[in-house]
Chains A and B, each alone.
Chain A
Amino acid sequence: MNKSLVLILLCLFTGFISCVKDDFSFNKFSNPNLEPDLAVPLVHSKLSLEDLLPKGSTIIEDSITHNLILVYETEVVSKNAEDYIQIPTQQQTFTKDNLILPLPSGTSLVLPFNEYFDFTPPIAGQRIDSILLKSGKISLSIVSDINHSGSVEIDLPFVTKNGQPFHTVIAHSYTGSIPVTEVVEIDLAGYKIAPDPPVNSQQRLFVNFTLKIEGDNNPDLSPYSFQLTASISQLKFSGLFGYFGKYEYSMKDSVELSVFRNAYEGQVQFGDLRLFFSTSNSIGMPMQLDVNQLKAYSTRNAPYVVDITDNPGFVNPIHFPSPDVSHLGQSVDTLYSLTPATCNLLQALNIAPNYIDFDVVGQSNPAGNPALQNFILDTSHYALKVRIELPFFASVAGFVIADTMNFNFTDVERIEEFAFVMTTVNRFPLDIWIQAYFADEQNVVLDSLMYSGDNYLVHAAAVGPAPEYYVPLFPEPPKYTFYPQPLDRIRLQRLTTARKLILKAGLNTYNNSLVKIYNDYSLDVRMGARIKFSY
């Protein structure tokens, strides 16, 4: 083989290697130009009425008609009676002066005293027949200049425990200096205090105390002085009987009608409406309810405020019974129903109110008859429940709800096209359309998900004849598939500047007529997306 041939072969081989190496130049690899196209299911849900309503709604089913009723209620509970009625401290001092006590050694002297202890009720004009104490104390203190020892016996015949009158003995111990003082405190838990009936509006407790002095060799320093002070304090009752006069229980609150939380426009006409005041009263006093305010407020629909009580049929105040003494510890429940005939409930619902505000005052012994026998227990209270029932027997026309939420959609660099698909099987007699607007920080709409000409997303199921207006199970309502316009690259880029998503949904009942909603209705929703990427 000559050198030239070797050289040629070497050149050919080198050239060949270079070409081959060039074919595998992965450092010159460019983007692979892939366009993967993903079709993916996103959502499948079978939505009941409860799922579709905003949080905070309660639905009950009428056991007879099986109609569904939307219920909004709130309850205000008064304080317990012991928080309203505090029995004041009762205190009185009994002083005995000029006591002549000739006491030779080995003798003793007994001096009895009968007194009355003034008992003051919490509020003037009240009458306390008896108090059952669950806590409290009596403080007894003596002060004397008697230079002899002895004792003081104290009896309160109308302060009893298990039928036994109160009795106690305090030692009078002279230890070489005067004055002699002694203080005792006794727990009154479980005692019953029964003051005398009022005389000239003053009630009293009979007190009997006896001073017993022993004779000794100490000199007689007569006249002597003796003082007894009794203080009944920190009284907490478990039961209180008598006549307690007028107390007022103020209750203010509001009921949010979350179904209208995001109401935007349009009307809902309910076939039947009810508003209830229900009370639960365990206070043994006649009660009445003064409705100071009952108004519906809407942030969107004029006249924005409707006074529900501004109706000739509305009765104010409302009287409620109370338990008598034979039902001690029990509650008496009552229900007061308001209908569109007795209040402006229809007018209130026409503005799709966000909430109903109420301010009521419960007043005891409204007649002011002191001859009445009242009672309260420490746990006695008064509760008011305001309840609004919206039966789903309604017509909806052009009712639109709207909500705004934050939106951030920035990572679209690789998305070429984004297309939703939605299929529905609807057993609700409601047409539903949905629109999503993409807006910037200043709420300037940049784009929308649907084109304005797009049809209803969900078509209402046809209802059966009155009075049930029932959507039959069979044949199954048709399945609708909806393809919104795909979001192409230009629109997707536009969305990267959007910061808010404004969702709107519109509702119409079947033929804009009255329909009823039943528990077995559902909306089967499937959503999917086709996402075309570009690499």
Chain B
Amino acid sequence: MNKIKLSFLMVMLLIISNAFVYAQFSPNISFMRSVPQSFVTNPAAEVPFRFWIGIPGLSSFGQSFDNTGFRYKDVFYKTPDDSLHFDVNNFLNTLDKNNFINVDTKEEILGFGFNVRSYYFDVRFTERFSNSIEYSRDLMSFLFKLNNQFVGKTADFSGTGINMTLYHELSLGVRRKLSEKWSGGFRIKGLAGVANVYSRKTDLSLFTDPDNAYAMTVHSDLEIHTSIPGLSSDPTDSLSFVFTDKNLQNELMGLDNQGLALDLGIQFQPNNLFLFGASVVDLGFINWKNNPKSYVSDQGDHDYTFDGIDINDFIGNDTASLGDQLQKVLDSLTKNLGLRTNYDAYTSYLLTRVNVTGQFNPTKKDHFGLLLQTTIFNNKIKPALTLHYNHEFGKTLNLMTGYTISKGNYLNLALGFSLKLGAIQWYVVSDNAYAFFMPTDFRYTNIQFGFNLVFGDKRDFKKVPKDVENVPGMRTN
């Protein structure tokens, strides 16, 4: 494979690689009361076990991938000679003006919960990697086809941005029944950031002027923050990573980058047939103080036009070289883009999700659900709608299916189960199981699985228990 092929594949795989980091926590799991982790989308949700504890390191692992733009099969195709090709035109045609790739990875190292009177407490320690990339069609088109296509037009790269965060999360959740019909809960989370790249503002465009020999005007208004372990923020240092055992340990602990987040939820059960809920999850921030480095447009909205090098610099100057001139152009570009580097601490915000749920329980074992989830990133919202059904085969087996619609993704068939053998519970849920069978034909999928030890199962499908009213979706007759 020659260099060009290799370079090209590297770039593409960088993009696509996110596609194979499947799945975060599942929207559908919030309707599976048999799994303690169902409360993640709403801290007011009841857990039907008096005590549960996740098997350390295995209690919950979730990854999600969501791309509003292209599918693998939109990008690559095979020819009869069995070679693999990249279809750049189809790739670009599948893109909207602005596109997202969201990747979320979550590993619950430790988790447990228990019931005390009308309260339910849970404690969890989780590693989280959250990455949301927004890219414009014009940017991709520029990268693959360069700018001749934009001569006389503006290539709009605005909105292109990234919010990548790796952090530790320690949470304490409390759920309480407020009245016969209402219950509420919250979860407070202490956060310790490890690494972050955060583009708060990326207003960027390029105009190529056909009337002035392709003079290029760059419009920019940027604000990009980074905090990378080992990457010195000392202005006098060159770009280099410096690790010592001590500082690496501290930086990976993330104790310098502290943050706080809150989950809030409420549930309303007017009767045994219906259950409604609303929650806000991951409403929080991290204050980055370790190795902060930011690039900010110091003049706000700013235009810089490059219309070529000045040959006057070459006339009568035998020592002038093209390399010098190009360096001058680059220096001028950097200067005129007005990017100022600072080393001040900054604050990044989590990808906040707002959930509204409705549940219909026609029988004690059948549960229909509807979830409207909205993700907020860079002052933009991305909604998703999930329809859900699960059937509990007694306390042992619970099977579920669902259907999720998000922006640009309409074929997301969820499948999942939980299996309880004694106190050991195993669960697997994916919101787009189709992706596992047709890995070239999906934009969105996730998977979440884990093992718990559960005790004191309060579900009773044979007779109506005294506290049946506390079990959502259970009909009493």
Instruction: Point out residues on A near B: beta carbons under 8 Å.
Output: 16, 20, 22-47, 51, 55, 421-423, 479, 481, 525-530, 532-533, 535
Q: List 24 A-B contacts (CB under 8 A).
A: A16-B437, A22-B78, A25-B82, A29-B9, A29-B86, A30-B85, A31-B2, A34-B86, A35-B145, A36-B144, A37-B145, A37-B148, A39-B146, A40-B214, A41-B308, A42-B213, A44-B308, A45-B311, A55-B316, A423-B211, A423-B213, A479-B211, A528-B213, A535-B8
Q: Which residues of B contact A33 (CB under 8 A)?
A: 85-86, 88
Q: Is A528's CB under 8 angstroms from B5's CB?
A: no
| Alpha-carbon separation in the docked complex, A20 to B212 (Å) | 51
Minimal beta-carbon separation of B18 from chain A (angstroms): 15
Minimal beta-carbon separation of B216 from chain A (angstroms): 6
Asked whether A26 and B148 contact (CB < 8 A) given A42-B308, A527-B213, A528-B308, the answer is: no
Residue from A28, A46, A530 in contact with B214 in the complex, judged by beta carbons closer than 8 Å = A530
Interface assignment of B269: CB less than 8 Å from any CB of chain A = no
Q: Is A535's CB under 8 angstroms from B4's CB?
A: yes
Q: Is B214's CB under 8 angstroms from A528's CB?
A: yes
Asked whether A29 and B208 contact (CB < 8 A) given A37-B145, A43-B311, A530-B148, the answer is: no
Q: Which residues of B contact A533 (CB under 8 A)?
A: 146
Q: Is B86's CB under 8 angstroms from A32's CB?
A: yes
In chain B, what residue has the closest Cβ to A48? B312
Interface assignment of B399: CB less than 8 Å from any CB of chain A = no
Q: Is A41's CB under 8 angstroms from B315's CB?
A: no
| Alpha-carbon separation in the docked complex, A527 to B82 (Å) | 45
Minimal beta-carbon separation of A18 from chain B (angstroms): 13
Residue from A25, A26, A43 in contact with B309 in the complex, judged by beta carbons closer than 8 Å = A43
| Alpha-carbon separation in the docked complex, A479 to B211 (Å) | 9
Minimal beta-carbon separation of A535 from chain B (angstroms): 5
Per the 8 Å Cβ criterion, residues 289-322 of B in contact with A are: 306-312, 315-316
Q: Which residues of A contact B244 (CB under 8 A)?
A: none
Interface assignment of B255: CB less than 8 Å from any CB of chain A = no
Q: Is A41's CB under 8 angstroms from B83's CB?
A: no
Interface assignment of B102: CB less than 8 Å from any CB of chain A = no
Q: Which residues of A contact B214 (CB under 8 A)?
A: 39-41, 421, 528-530
Minimal beta-carbon separation of B9 from chain A (angstroms): 6
Residue from B9, B144, B208 in contact with A34 in the complex, judged by beta carbons closer than 8 Å = B144
Residue from A31, A42, A525 in contact with B4 in the complex, judged by beta carbons closer than 8 Å = A31
Instruction: Point out residues on B near A: beta carbons under 8 Å.
Output: 1-2, 4-5, 8-9, 13, 72, 76, 78, 82-86, 88, 144-149, 151, 208, 211-216, 306-312, 315-316, 437, 439-440
| Alpha-carbon separation in the docked complex, A35 to B13 (Å) | 20
Asked whether A32 and B78 contact (CB < 8 A) given A51-B312, A422-B213, the answer is: no
Q: Is B215's CB under 8 angstroms from A44's CB?
A: yes
Minimal beta-carbon separation of B446 from chain A (angstroms): 19
| Alpha-carbon separation in the docked complex, A136 to B123 (Å) | 108
Q: Is A23's CB under 8 angstroms from B78's CB?
A: yes
Q: Which residues of B contact A28 (CB under 8 A)?
A: 82-84
| Alpha-carbon separation in the docked complex, A422 to B214 (Å) | 10
- A45, A479, A525: which has the most chain B beta carbons within 10 Å? A45
Q: Which residues of B contact A55 (CB under 8 A)?
A: 315-316
Minimal beta-carbon separation of B148 from chain A (angstroms): 4
Q: Which residues of B contact A44 (CB under 8 A)?
A: 212-213, 215, 307-310
In chain A, what residue has the closest Cβ to B318? A55
Q: Is A26's CB under 8 angstroms from B216's CB?
A: no
Q: Which residues of A contact B86 (CB under 8 A)?
A: 29, 32-34
Q: Which residues of B contact A38 (CB under 8 A)?
A: 146-148
Q: Is B308's CB under 8 angstroms from A43's CB?
A: yes
Minimal beta-carbon separation of A532 from chain B (angstroms): 8
Q: Is A40's CB under 8 angstroms from B216's CB?
A: yes
Residue from A26, A30, A45 in contact with B312 in the complex, judged by beta carbons closer than 8 Å = A45
Q: Is A51's CB under 8 angstroms from B145's CB?
A: no
Q: Which residues of A contact B215 (CB under 8 A)?
A: 41, 44, 526, 528
Asked whether A41 and B216 contact (CB < 8 A) given A29-B84, A34-B88, the answer is: yes
In chain A, what residue has the closest Cβ to B437? A16
Q: Which residues of B contact A43 (CB under 8 A)?
A: 213, 308-311
Asked whether A32 and B312 contact (CB < 8 A) given A25-B84, A526-B307, the answer is: no
Q: Is A31's CB under 8 angstroms from B5's CB?
A: yes
In chain B, what residue has the closest Cβ to A422? B213
Minimal beta-carbon separation of B144 from chain A (angstroms): 6
Q: Is A23's CB under 8 angstroms from B439's CB?
A: yes
Q: Which residues of A contact B437 (CB under 8 A)?
A: 16
Q: Which residues of A contact B440 (CB under 8 A)?
A: 20, 23
In chain B, what residue has the closest Cβ to A525? B311
Minimal beta-carbon separation of A56 from chain B (angstroms): 9
| Alpha-carbon separation in the docked complex, A532 to B306 (Å) | 20
| Alpha-carbon separation in the docked complex, A422 to B307 (Å) | 12
Minimal beta-carbon separation of B406 from chain A (angstroms): 24
Closest 6 CB pairs of A and B: A528-B213, A37-B148, A528-B214, A526-B213, A44-B307, A44-B308
| Alpha-carbon separation in the docked complex, A80 to B222 (Å) | 69
| Alpha-carbon separation in the docked complex, A38 to B212 (Å) | 15
Q: Is A36's CB under 8 angstroms from B146's CB?
A: yes
Residue from A26, A530, A532 in contact with B84 in the complex, judged by beta carbons closer than 8 Å = A26
| Alpha-carbon separation in the docked complex, A29 to B214 (Å) | 35
Q: Is A39's CB under 8 angstroms from B208's CB?
A: yes
Minimal beta-carbon separation of B22 from chain A (angstroms): 14
Q: Which residues of B contact A27 (CB under 8 A)?
A: 1
Residue from A20, A39, A527, A535 in contact with B148 in the complex, judged by beta carbons closer than 8 Å = A39
Beyond the given A25-B82, A29-B5, please list 10 additional residue pairs across the A-B interface where CB-CB is below 8 A: A26-B9, A29-B9, A30-B85, A33-B86, A35-B145, A39-B148, A44-B215, A44-B309, A423-B211, A528-B308
Asked whether A481 and B145 contact (CB < 8 A) given A39-B151, A51-B312, A51-B315, the answer is: no
Residue from A16, A41, A47, A532 in contact with B213 in the complex, judged by beta carbons closer than 8 Å = A41
Q: Which residues of B contact A16 (CB under 8 A)?
A: 437
In chain A, what residue has the closest Cβ to B212? A526
Asked whether A423 and B212 contact (CB < 8 A) given A32-B8, A36-B144, A45-B312, the answer is: yes
In chain B, what residue has the closest Cβ to A419? B148
Q: Is A29's CB under 8 angstroms from B146's CB?
A: no
| Alpha-carbon separation in the docked complex, A30 to B2 (Å) | 9
